[in-house]
Amino acid sequence: MNDRLERALTHTAHEWTPDPPDISAAAARAGLLDVAYATVDSPVGRLLLARTPRGLVRVAYVPPDGEDAVLEALAGKLSPRVIAAPRALDEARRELDEYFAGARTRFELPLDWHLIRGFGRRVLEATARVPYGAVSTYKQVAAQAGNARASRAAGNALGSNPMPIVVPCHRVLNTGGGLGGYTGGLERKRLLLAIERGQPVLEGLG
């Protein structure tokens, strides 16, 4: 076979090679996609986003050893049918990009609260109402959730927040103004508060 013919056949083969099947789309059409997820890079490190048909259900800081533990927890608490489906998270990624760019002050994503219930959910719903650029305290969000004396329980709920950033637990501080705790570490909390105060962020977290 001469070189010209071989190149022509190779080119034709490449033209007709079908695209790999979109497993997530096929699963969705078959009703088998209970939890879709994607990972994205951000100024506060790599994030794993997950959603159900109801809405966004998880925003997780991906740990150094990878995302497996987060996915296993989702499978155990929601459904074993957890599939990588980046397109299903396009809206969440777009809103997060706008937030980190300082162009979005309020998330409009539908949320699925299945991973937290009872008093903890009420605490997070109160937290979601803290305005962009403002702060509240553990005592205040506990009071708004129905028990002003439950600051410690409010802190536990905030520490278990399944959707940090979108449900802005970084805006909740100690009564005296101290940062308190944060599930993603205090460096991330400081960075998120700086973004919302319009302070220049020269370098994000790896």
Q: Catalytic: which of 169, 172, 192, 195?
A: 169
169 counts as catalytic = yes
- Calculate the dihedral angle through the C-alpha atoms of 138, 113, 206, 84, rounding to the nearest 10 degrees: 170
Distance CA 74, CA 118 (A): 19
Q: Which residues contact 72 (CB under 8 A, 6 or more apart)?
A: none
Measured between alpha carbons, how far is 50 from 84 in angstroms, rounded to an integer? 9
Q: Name 25's Cβ contacts closer than 8 Å, sequence gap at least 6.
A: 85, 87
Task: Give the C-alpha distances (Å, rounded to integers) separating 21 from 27, 42, 97.
Answer: 11, 28, 28
Q: Indicate which residues carry an active-site annotation.
A: 169
